[in-house]
Amino acid sequence: MPSSYRLVNYLLRPAKVAERKMLCDLFRRLEPFGRIHTYRYIGFGSIYFADFLLFHQALGISDMISIEKDEQNGPRFSFNKPFRCVELKLGHSNSVLPQLDWEKKSLVWFDCDGKLDGAVLADVAMFCSKAVSGSMLLVSVNVVPEKKPNAAPQDQDAFRLQTFSEAVGKEKVPLDVTGANLRPGEFAKVCRRVIHNEILKELCDRNGPLEEERRFCYQQLIHFHYADEAQMLTLGGLFYEKRDRPLLDRCAFSELPFVRDGEAIAFINAPKLTQKEVRHLNSQLPRLPADKVTLPGVPDSDVHDYVSLYRYYPSFTEVLLG
């Protein structure tokens, strides 16, 4: 199967573009822990480096590492690096991450195009065991349930449970999870639980020998669901030492409308609108109550979705260069 970057232009996914802009606003709130431009960013740039472009230009981050497991196409990744400050690391993240220096505050985004599996959880565990206070972790995974062709419902459930257990490890699957919990609309909830449990387990192990005030805590901030092609989940938050709790309070993350600290979901739905429709809506915003915003002929659900993310709504323009 060809690499995902050969199938999808990651610069032209509306929900993904909105997500990146939201994360910029989230990262800016980290100033109490340290000037955001002094942070290091670690991600999977692919050939488009969309997140690297935005985070360098908008936040001034210049310590950036892109991990690429597709080693045979290293020259193409290297050619497409947008800035000299992006360091390319070829190899699987499971192998690359342990080799990095973790003494610096880091923003890490495991932006995966595949489903949750043991390799992703190993990366999560690695981060939890090494990250310093004030660092942030984000994990994105595909949450479209597995499907066995022509299977009866009960066989489908059994197939999904077996497949998921094999992917993440049977010991990682909560005991109360059944195949019915892995159906469409429910699978993402289980993925969130597994990731969340892995974070708590690793922090528990790390905190064992530490003094009370030096123990690490995790504050979930992001719980996105969105779909440009496949249904995706992005989960993550802040890692900090207990003694740094006052710094967390000063970040005031709760002021951001998309922040979620539990099971509640922030849906990113980018409606398809013309530029004229966007301009008409913008002329009415910001406005409370939001249901007073109108657009003739457009479904109320699309108007509501636009109002909820208008500051982050993408704008695509064709530019002809000579």
pLDDT tens digits along 71-92: 999 999 999 999 999 999 999 9
* pLDDT at site 150: 86
Residue whose token pair is 């935005």:
54
Residue boundaries of the structural domains of the chain: 4-144+184-268, 275-312
pLDDT digits (tens, 9 = 90+) for 230-263: 899 999 999 999 999 999 999 999 999 999 999 9
Rounded to two decimals, the pTM is 0.93
* pLDDT at site 154: 87
- Check if the beta carbon of residue 292 is closer than 8 Å to that of residue 286: no
* pLDDT at site 322: 47
Regions of the chain with pLDDT less than 50: 4-11, 322
Q: HEC string of 284-296?
A: CCCCCCHHHCCCC
- Check if the beta carbon of residue 259 is closer than 8 Å to that of residue 221: yes
* pLDDT at site 11: 45
Alpha helix stretches (DSSP H) within the chain: 14-28, 50-59, 74-79, 93-96, 118-130, 153-168, 187-207, 245-251, 275-282, 300-309
CA geometry: angle 191, 131, 42, nearest 5 deg: 75
* pLDDT at site 12: 66
143 φ, ψ to 5°? -120, 30
Fold classification of 4-144+184-268 is Rossmann fold (3.40.50)
Report in angstroms the alpha-carbon separations of 307 from 14, 219, 256. Answer: 15, 27, 14
CB burial of residue 63 (10 Å; 0-12, 13-18, 19+):
middle
Q: Is 74 helix (H, G, I), strand (E, B) or coil?
A: helix
